[in-house]
Amino acid sequence: MSETKCVYLFREGNATMKGLLGGKGANLCEMTNIGLPVPAGFTITTESCNEYSKTGEWPAGLWEQTLSALADVEKDMGKKLGDAANPLLISVRSGAKFSMPGMMDTVLNLGLNEETLKGIVAATGNERFAYDAYRRFLMMFSDIVLSEDFPKLKKHSFEVIFDKLKEQKGAKVDTEVDAEGLKKLCEQYKVYFKEAAGRDFPTDPKEQLKLAITAVFKSWNNERAVIYRNRERIAHDLGTAVNIQAMVFGNMGDDCGTGVAFTRNAATGDNKLFGEFLKNAQGEDVVAGVRTPEPIDQLENEFPDIYNEFAAIAQRLEDHYREMQDIEFTIEKGRLFILQCRAGKRTGVAAVKIAVEMVGEGRITKEEALTRVPPEALEQLLNPRIKNTGNAKPIATGMNAGPGGASGKVALDSKTAIAMAAAGDTVILVRKETNPDDLGGMLASKGVLTQLGGRTSHAALVARQYGIPTICGCGALKIDDAARSFTVNGVTVKEGEVVTIDGTLGLVYNVELGTEPATMTGDFGTFMGWADEYRKLGVRANADTPEHAADAIKLGGEGIGLCRTEHMFLGSERVPFVRNMILAENETVRDEALAKLLPMQRADFVGIFKVMGGRPVTVRLIDPPLHEFLPGLVELEVEVCKMECANPNDPALAEKKKLLAAVHDMHEQNPMLGLRGCRLSIYFPGIVKMQVAAIIGAACEVKKSGMDVHPEIMIPLISTVNELTYIKAQLEEVAKATMAAEGVEVDYMFGTMIEIPRAALTADEIAKEAQFFSFGTNDLTQMGYGISRDDAGKFLPLYIEKQIFKNDPTETIDQKGIGRLMQICVEDARKVNPTIKLGICGEHGGEPDSVKFCHKLGLNYVSCSPRRIPVARLAAAQAVIEEMGKGVQRDK
Amino acid sequence: MSETKCVYLFREGNATMKGLLGGKGANLCEMTNIGLPVPAGFTITTESCNEYSKTGEWPAGLWEQTLSALADVEKDMGKKLGDAANPLLISVRSGAKFSMPGMMDTVLNLGLNEETLKGIVAATGNERFAYDAYRRFLMMFSDIVLSEDFPKLKKHSFEVIFDKLKEQKGAKVDTEVDAEGLKKLCEQYKVYFKEAAGRDFPTDPKEQLKLAITAVFKSWNNERAVIYRNRERIAHDLGTAVNIQAMVFGNMGDDCGTGVAFTRNAATGDNKLFGEFLKNAQGEDVVAGVRTPEPIDQLENEFPDIYNEFAAIAQRLEDHYREMQDIEFTIEKGRLFILQCRAGKRTGVAAVKIAVEMVGEGRITKEEALTRVPPEALEQLLNPRIKNTGNAKPIATGMNAGPGGASGKVALDSKTAIAMAAAGDTVILVRKETNPDDLGGMLASKGVLTQLGGRTSHAALVARQYGIPTICGCGALKIDDAARSFTVNGVTVKEGEVVTIDGTLGLVYNVELGTEPATMTGDFGTFMGWADEYRKLGVRANADTPEHAADAIKLGGEGIGLCRTEHMFLGSERVPFVRNMILAENETVRDEALAKLLPMQRADFVGIFKVMGGRPVTVRLIDPPLHEFLPGLVELEVEVCKMECANPNDPALAEKKKLLAAVHDMHEQNPMLGLRGCRLSIYFPGIVKMQVAAIIGAACEVKKSGMDVHPEIMIPLISTVNELTYIKAQLEEVAKATMAAEGVEVDYMFGTMIEIPRAALTADEIAKEAQFFSFGTNDLTQMGYGISRDDAGKFLPLYIEKQIFKNDPTETIDQKGIGRLMQICVEDARKVNPTIKLGICGEHGGEPDSVKFCHKLGLNYVSCSPRRIPVARLAAAQAVIEEMGKGVQRDK
């Protein structure tokens, strides 16, 4: 049996081998092969790392292959590892398939010991440089390779020693310490090492190498790497490669330097070299922020030849990869080395501009352009962003539920928020959680912060629906209602004090920060046009008002996939009638209240239908339990108790107690699984009859005004076809009677939401009675998983952290379980009703992976918040291109 | 095209044609064919009724076929319908496939008019008899055939007229009115009819016949028939047959009479003629309760020859049908006629005795015996029953949630119930609904009555678990806490007053009624032994204590399928530690509390394992959310408010407020979908680690004492395999450490409940990590249907009434939807883990149709309340026999 190849010399690999050699390794190979000045080296495969992760042992033959590759590098460089006369120093770096910047370990200057040090001094004639490299190596190796076993070897202890020495020497910064000082420091480091580890610092370079490789393997599973992969949804079984490369030095003098540059501007997308350069420095100095680098232009000024050489290489790399590149380079004594290249990270704005321009330049196809922009990035194009120019420290983090940012004065309840906004303040509403009662307060606020709830909590839904920057699930937040303040991580903020919410990043600040407005360039339109050429899925909006409908159309919405009607029961002029309707003691009072609401709701629909101009509008009949329109039980109990305490003869008490009795009667243990949706309509058909009269009446009115109109009436929470048959019969009657009274026929449909698992499982029956289905994946996920999103705040973060849930199923569709329900439903429904229209209107409808899944399922459309429409359009196009096998795999 | 045959003469049909001719019709045919004295007649098919129900029209040719059959009857009887000289009178009776006693319509004495009346007088020489028949006919025909169109023709109006006449005549009862009076009454009836209907009473006998047949067709869908079918789960598309038969009269004098008899005692099963007889009367007099019938023995005394003839016929019918018969007969002028026979309804006790004896008599096979007893009937054998000898009127009805009956004093809360019971009272607990806090109160009570909740509500679960007679969902009940009373249907009952609960029938009385104790005869053992010979499904018990475990074994349980551990956190000596554990501010306090609970719970398990003597015991780790062990939020808020009001400086206030804050923090919107089950264990593993230490420790102890023990540890609420993998690893460690400490190995398993839809859908993953699955169909149904059983009280009754749900899915497994999930789960699980043990532990495990479904699915066992074990054993046997095609179809 032949041994597995574990090691690839740079000349043996190429850019397609990212899975095996990691992104860095594959690109080093590619650059070597196209003749760029890359220091010699080789790469140990990710498979070797995986083998180590599994068994705790190196794969057979790895060490021998490493030594053989090392010999090759030694030959190439004309130096030898551990050779006192002509020593080779090497770097040992991690490098995974997907970039995980700073998450794993790197050891530089490996090969140094008392002997080789002399060789370095001799070769460079620079003793200070040599001891500087040595002291860095002693510290770095101890910290990275050995501190897991010997915690005293952490970097910090070495820094303390250095600080003490600097104090003795009267030096303020490292560079003020001379060679003698650094030499003494190295001695002190070695003494400390022996004390901490109980052995001498390893002087054998091959032992150093062996230990360093193992340390890089281990670093794949260090805590911060695992957390990063969870956040970025990178698989945990990929492993890291290990790149071993001859060291070059940017810190040997003023003819040296180091830098990083992008071939185009990563923030704006402008086609101009963009980056930073630092003279006489190593890359780590840039990363550590010890010195501030200069713009890349400075390289042009100081080293015009090298700049030109670099610019040509940059251009060549972009030509070669047909992608904007992020390039690390070092200048050692006037000679340019390229240390790394990779696809450059960029903002959404830049991504779109670069993609469009590269198509114009003939570099890439439209398919490639479309697959290169992450759909989520498009949302950035629509949002003002927080500008944290002063590097303010956040006081807390939470879930980035509603993108965008805002600064404003804290209000701790909706009433206060409304009052403060009315008085002209910019308000940030801070609540334990929000409920429909808070809608007014949320709309009056520029940002919302809650302690509980996830990305699909009430607050988050409203946030995205109305574009309010929002942070949810900020668990550390404690609101003290009595003191009118909140405390988070030790910081107390009083109502009325200013905070800033960065809903894009999920950060909270207790200072005011500025914002930058959204820019919507012409490239954006071009790009979205291409997406529309490819996609097969329709894209509709979840929109409840004419304003949102207008937003939806602006962003490319082809209809409304979910018009919630709950808000049509809110507002100060409607609430009294709604209460009368709910609390009515007889039919007359109830019918009177409904009669008052009818013209108001009809006007609502007229407004929406007119804006949508003939595009289909799916209206969901009332869904929430009626008690949501009444005060909460706990609040009311306490209110009654306090009134009784203050004055038992208070004449208002009787009325209040009557209300309390009604609220008690309607109280539910598990309202999500209670009297709502079609159950409510069957129990009490008056409301939905009024709603259908309003919808069809509005449609008739709009049609008579000369416009086209296509209402699709959606009956929610169906669990059995019989519910649909039963209530549809009554509503069809109302529709017909309304059209007869208006004297005009309109084209309408009845359909249902598939949001209860049983509905999906019995689609073969339900589809016979419905003209359309819309997957309500929010509830389908909650019921299918048995998880209430409002109550998941305590365990969901833990589940994500522990990888029990690979992804948050309320965020992206769980394809294995909930997706199986959807698949069963689609197949069974189309079997009995081949022309049934199938869509999705859960929050997942705007999440790229879910949109792609919907494409695979063969749905007709997805529907999402207006702001997610571009995201959905692009994801839908990518789904088609991926199916064609024409896309490019994006670096994560 | 030949015309469909709509009409069968009695000699043309037979007993197998119940579907087409109805039960009554088929048996009349059968009796005619074996030569019994049945008055001539014919049957119109159920298909004709269905055609009428669908189209509102009679099938083509029905009338012609009816006239032709009538001619045959006329020939047979030597009389003619409408012949003034020798008139034939006929009855028109409904008769469906399954008996629906009194639900549909019947018209007697049809054919009477002024002309034929004369013929009757001449033929009988009894003018009073003739006018009595006529006045009955006028009223009955008006009421049944025509009152739907003319509401004034309801029976009541005619009774008012008769009462007025009786008053004028000074008569107290009908029989005191002479022929002249009845003649006058008939005249008055006809005048009233013309006034009410605007036409003369129909005198043409053929018109009468046509109208009567249509009325019987319509009566299939009258409200009470629909409700009855819903309750008895009879399909609504069967239709009724119409039986037209020559009248015979039991009220022509003292040589006449009528009666009903069973071939065996319907209450006890004794093999002795059992029934009632009434001289000189028609059947309707018996039904109306105008006169009290005498026992059948009286017939033997008065008419020994006829008695002997009847006894011989009865014996012959039982021989013929090989089944206990319910026979109606009439004696007309000394001549015996058999009017109907059918399988006799009987109590559970009688059913078992008759089945066993008939096998002994060689009449039927064991298979037949087993399929003749409805499994539910067995539960009656275990219960004391209410003895309503005085015919007390119930004041309310509700769901018969817990069988058995009890009388006692009303207590309106658990504290009062406990206090009253302690003082020696027998208590009936009356609550709006119950929750785990009420367990003590329920256990102190002999019966429970609630306003809300269905058959699987908390109250019902506890009721069956602990055998407490219980009525749930008594919607009419209103509790007035302030007045310490409840009101139902206008009757107010104060706390402390006596009520009686008949939990078997769901009836509430405001008087004390006696009970009769359970009788468990030797036949019961024989019968259950036969069931065990056939069944393939194992039957286990849901049992939480040694007492219940002992009950389970007594009733044939082969193990415990669900040992809930929640109660192990209750009880006055444990609650303080449980509270400490929940409210602990640091790990030390928490661990101390858990350490206190460990030996108590270990002792609980030792008790159970010892009783179970080596049988498998499935222990479910803690499932409910922790807040269930704390006071309710609303109650606590009010308590704090009241304390503050009474004395703001109350030193106890601070502690109470701290508790309130904790309860607030733990409050959930939808606790069923919140932090419970394995989520709680993952969030806070201390409790389940303690539980596993207790279970395995107890098992070691029992094993060391020389007994065998097989704990099966069940982790609830799994939605993804990762949850199971994650927590199981920790629990395996505890198990191993416990065994090491005890120095003994025990045989244990880890498995999970399948109660979340996603678990069923991803069984191919979960089954790899589990040694057993147990379907928790309560939650699986609630989540799969999106229905909280606690909140379904408002719409579920309506859904059943409107046939939106054919059955209550919380009562019997919804095979179409939830069953599909189960099927997917079973198939996928066995594919990856062929030896996995599969069971069910939801309440459905004791419901016959669900048990049969579990047999079809190929589960290994069902688990149910101890009291349902015989039911499940029999249902499991019937499933096998039905599969063999050997069972008999039971008359419903």
Lowest mean pLDDT, pick from A169-183, A712-726, B653-667: A169-183
Confidence of residue B698 (pLDDT cuts 50, 70, 90): very high
Q: Are B717 and B756 in contact (CB under 8 A)?
A: yes
The candidate with the shortest Cα–Cα distance to B839, out of B733, B737, B749, is B749
3-state secondary structure of B200: coil
Amino acid letter, residue B343: A
Tell whether the torsion through CA atoms of B763, B766, B772 and B778 is positive or negative.
Answer: negative
3-state secondary structure of A561: strand
Q: Are B275 and B300 in contact (CB under 8 A)?
A: no
Using a CB–CB cutoff of 8 Å, tell me whether B720 touches chain A: yes
The candidate with the shortest Cα–Cα distance to A825, out of A863, A780, A782, A861, is A780
Q: Are A425 and A409 in contact (CB under 8 A)?
A: yes
Q: Is the pLDDT of residue A264 over 50?
A: yes
- The residue whose two tokens read 């407005």 is A517
Is B458 catalytic? The answer is yes
CA distance B759 to chain A (A): 8
Residue B485 is predicted with a pLDDT of 95
Confidence of residue B892 (pLDDT cuts 50, 70, 90): very low
**Beta-sheet pairing, A507-509 with A514-516:** unpaired
Q: Are A803 and B722 in contact (CB under 8 A)?
A: yes
Q: Is the pLDDT of residue B295 over 90?
A: no
Q: What is the DSSP string of B276-332?
A: EEEET--HHHHHHTSS--EETHHHHHH-HHHHHHHHHHHHHHHHHHTS-EEEEEEEE
Tell me what the mean pLDDT of segment B750-768 comes to: 98
Is B667 catalytic? The answer is no
Tokens for A669, please give them. Answer: 């243990």
How many A/B residue pairs have CB atoms within 8 Å?
189
Cα separation of B623 and B426, whole Å?
33
Lowest mean pLDDT, pick from A108-112, A172-176, B192-196, B633-637: A172-176
Q: Is the pLDDT of residue B562 over 90?
A: yes
Q: Are B65 and B5 in contact (CB under 8 A)?
A: yes
Amino acid letter, residue A440: G
Lowest mean pLDDT, pick from A83-87, A170-174, A887-891: A887-891
Cα separation of A526 and B135, whole Å?
92
A764-778: pLDDT as tens digits: 999 999 999 999 999
Of chain A, the percentage scoring pLDDT greater than 70 comes to 95
Residue A457 is predicted with a pLDDT of 64
Specify the length of chain B in residues: 892
* List of residues 6+ apart from A477 with CB closer than 8 A: A396, A398, A430, A449, A450, A451, A486, A487, A488
Chain A residue at shortest CA distance from B677: A786
Residue B253 is predicted with a pLDDT of 84
Tell me what the mean pLDDT of segment A629-640 comes to: 93
Residue A697 has phi, psi (to 5 degrees) of -60, -45
B 507-566 residues with CB < 8 A to A: none
**From the CB of residue B433, how many other CB atoms can be counted at a distance below 10 Å?**
17
Q: What is the DSSP letter of B145?
A: I
Residue from B841, B844, B855, B864 carrying the catalytic annotation: B841
Using a CB–CB cutoff of 8 Å, tell me whether A756 touches chain B: yes
- What's the distance, Cα to Cα, between the start and end of chain B in Å? 36
A166-176: pLDDT as tens digits: 999 888 877 78
Q: Are B427 and B420 in contact (CB under 8 A)?
A: yes
A 852-891 residues with CB < 8 A to B: none
Q: What is the ipTM of this complex?
A: 0.79
- Beta partners for A711? A617
B 676-715 residues with CB < 8 A to A: 679, 682-683
Do B682 and A795 make contact, defined as CB atoms within 8 angstroms?
yes
Question: Which H or E element spans position A773?
Answer: strand A772-775
Rg of chain A (C-alpha set): 32
More confident residue, A281 or B320: B320
Tokens for B688, please give them. Answer: 């389940």
Q: Is the pLDDT of residue B703 over 80?
A: yes
Residue A289 is predicted with a pLDDT of 42
Q: What is the DSSP string of A206-256?
A: HHHHHHHHHHHHHHTTSHHHHHHHHHHT--TTS-EEEEEEE---S-SSTT-
Cα separation of A248 and B890, whole Å?
93
C-alpha separations of A357 from A385, A555, B289, B777 in Å: 25, 22, 97, 59
Do A788 and B642 make contact, defined as CB atoms within 8 angstroms?
no
Residue from A6, A29, A458, A472 carrying the catalytic annotation: A458
Do B758 and A785 make contact, defined as CB atoms within 8 angstroms?
yes
A184-188 contacts, C-beta under 8 A, 24 or more apart: A185/A131, A185/A135, A185/A161, A186/A131, A186/A134, A186/A135, A186/A138, A188/A161
CA distance A532 to chain B (A): 35
Q: Is the pLDDT of residue A454 over 50?
A: yes
3-state secondary structure of B153: helix
Q: Are B103 and B232 in contact (CB under 8 A)?
A: no
Tell whether the torsion through CA atoms of B317, B321, B324 and B330 is positive or negative.
Answer: negative
Cα separation of B205 and B200, whole Å?
14
Q: Give a three-class secondary structure readout of A475-511.
A: CCCEEECCCCEEEECCEEEECCCEEEEECCCCEEECC
CA distance A582 to chain B (A): 15
Angle (deg, nearest 10), helices A587-612 and A686-704: 40
Q: Are A477 and A451 in contact (CB under 8 A)?
A: yes
Strand intervals (E) in A531-666: 538-542, 560-564, 616-620
Helix ranges (DSSP H) in B2-154? 18-33, 46-55, 62-77, 114-124, 127-141
